[in-house]
Amino acid sequence: MSRTRVAVVGGGIIGTAVARQLTRSLDHAEVSLFEKEDRLAAHQTGHNSGVVHAGLYYEPGSLKAKLCTRGGQLIRQFAQQHHVPYDECGKIVVALDEPQSKRLEALHARSVANGVPGVRIIGPDEIGEIEPHSRGVRALHSPRTAIVDYVALTNALADEFRGAGGAIWLKHAATRIEEGDRAVRLSVGDRTEEFDLVITCAGLQSDRVARAAGEQADPRIVPFVGDYFLLAPAKTHLVRGLIYPVPDPRYPFLGIHATRRIDGAVMLGPNVFLSMGREAYEPWQPNLRDLRDAVGFAGFWRFASRNLPAALRESRTALSSRSFVSEVRKYVPDIRAADVDRGPRGIRAQAMDARGRLVDEFAISGTDRVVHVRNAPSPGATSAMAIAEHIVTAALTRAGIGPSTGRTGESRQSP
């Protein structure tokens, strides 16, 4: 009997978790993971805030809410078992005035509906006990929100995948996917091979990879860049854990926050602005193809016209470190512009539909033999291992490939 052959495209945390999940679910399969860069986690997974979200923000019952909660539990369990640096440092979402305080109550109700453990509203005294340098009229405290090293986590998932017989092909970009009656032909570099199932998790390139398989163009990926600043080592005591503003419902992203990293550094950010390229980490090296795709997309202009005030506000923080820091000083007033240096930047793969609406939910599409993760924005890293369980179970059923008994998921663990 010939072995089942499965390919995964994209070696970020989601593709790596999917590849590992396949080896847990199939006993005699040959699973290959193709990544175009020379290392795993080279893009979003290696350029994010490092937060293991607890599920405060997401619509109860949504895929995001379910997979974030389950994904957080799986990370905790996996990190403990595999000695991946992980710290439940806790998070506060700080309200500065009465209108924000009202929105905090709605966030609290949503967190409770999502089963976030230990979440509660606290007053100024308790804010001071948890984060002595933060100020606010009230805050939402989530004691179990955590931080992790997502690159180390991805590499540990990859080690387990390799240990189970999986193969990782770095510097192998998938260029074409053709579904036939009995197999899927995948072209990677100058090789074309046949697989029983192909799952693509291509992050910032997810729409292009899906199109290479004959899928429709929309939703498109519009790349949004976010800059971080780093607090000077002598000032990291100003932030113990994670300090976030109350998200403004008029704007699509969470706002500039202060996050402690697993290595002890404190990052401020990210702001949000249209990126000059999907992988353009240097500010003055635009990618013309990416720019052309973004500005040639009618949805982008519809989005831009609706979000002009936010764009103007964010452009201030993009151009001036003083403006950037003044956003953080609203809830950590002791941080000064002189205390920060420019840090890393990250580029978010955000799917947008033709009407210019951001796709909020995780989006997975495809056929019985080719599955595409088309939108996995934050909390995509938190949710990765749960997204993997979800996709692999559904894909194997649809493709008629039987999972082996017993190892389809990790043990369930109460939060």
Of 215, 234, 203, 235, which Cα lies nearest the Cα of 13? 203
Q: Among residues 72 and 138, whose Cβ is nearest to ligand FAD? A: 72
Which of 159, 160, 157 shows the shortest CA–CA distance to 149? 157
Angle between helix 13-25 and 150-163 (nearest 10): 30
Q: Would you say how long the chain is, in residues?
A: 415
53 binds ligand FAD (CB under 6 A): yes
Among the listed ranges 29-37, 102-110, 297-305, 404-412, the one in contact with ligand FAD (CB under 6 A) is: 29-37
| Interface with ligand FAD (CB under 6 A), residue from 166, 203, 247, 409 | 203
Q: Which two tokens stand for residue 253?
A: 């992203």
Is residue 271 a contact point for ligand FAD (CB under 6 A)? no
Of 51 and 239, CB closest to ligand FAD? 51
Q: Which of 50, 90, 143, 247 is the binder for ligand FAD (CB under 6 A)?
A: 50
Quick check: 34 binds ligand FAD (CB under 6 A)? yes
Q: Which of 79, 146, 204, 221 binds ligand FAD (CB under 6 A)?
A: 204
| Beta carbons within 10 angstroms of residue 61's beta carbon | 10
Contact between 48 and ligand FAD (CB under 6 A)? yes
Question: Using CB under 6 A, which of the segments 235-243, 309-317, 319-327, 370-378 binds ligand FAD?
Answer: 370-378
Min CB(180)–ligand FAD separation in Å: 20
62: left (phi over 0), alpha (psi -120 to 50) or beta: beta
Q: Determine the straight-line distance between the first and last CA of the chain, rounded to whole angstroms.
A: 42
Q: How far is the CB of 166 from ligand FAD (least distance, A)?
A: 15
Q: How far apart are the C-alpha atoms of 74 and 80, rounded to whole Å?
A: 10
DSSP assignment of 23-62 equals HHH-SS-EEEEE-SSSSTT-SGGGSS--EE--SSSSPTTS
Task: Please give the Cα distance from 273 to 223 (Å, whole number).
Answer: 9
Between 130 and 173, CB nearer to ligand FAD: 173
Give me the half-sphere count of Cα atoms (radius 13 Å) on the Cβ side of residue 362: 27
Of the residues 33, 67, 84, 201, which one makes contact with ligand FAD according to CB under 6 A: 201
Report 316-355 residues binding ligand FAD (CB under 6 A). Answer: 346-348
| Closer Cβ to ligand FAD, 140 or 204, answer by number | 204
> Closest CB to ligand FAD among 149 and 196?
149
Cβ proximity to ligand FAD: between 120 and 169 the closer is 169
Candidates 166, 226, 255, 409; binder of ligand FAD (CB under 6 A) is 226
Name the amino acid, one letter, at 45: T
Read off the tokens for 64.
Answer: 């995001």
User: What's the CA gap between 91 and 257, in Å, rounded?
Assistant: 10
Piece of 36-44, 94-102, 243-251, 320-328 that binds ligand FAD (CB under 6 A): 36-44
Judge whether 179 and 213 are in contact, CB under 8 Å: yes
Question: Which residue in the set 67, 151, 156, 202 belongs to the binding site for ligand FAD (CB under 6 A)?
Answer: 202
Q: Which tokens is 131 given?
A: 């984060």
Stretch that binds ligand FAD, among 189-197, 331-339, 379-387, 401-409 (CB under 6 A): 379-387
376 lies in the site for ligand FAD, by CB under 6 A? yes
Residue 71: both structure tokens together: 């994904």
* 381 interacts with ligand FAD by CB under 6 A: yes
**Is the Cβ–Cβ distance between 249 and 230 less than 8 Å?**
no
Residues at the contact surface with ligand FAD, assessed by CB under 6 A: 9-15, 34-37, 42-45, 47-51, 53, 173-174, 201-205, 209, 226, 270, 346-348, 373, 376-382
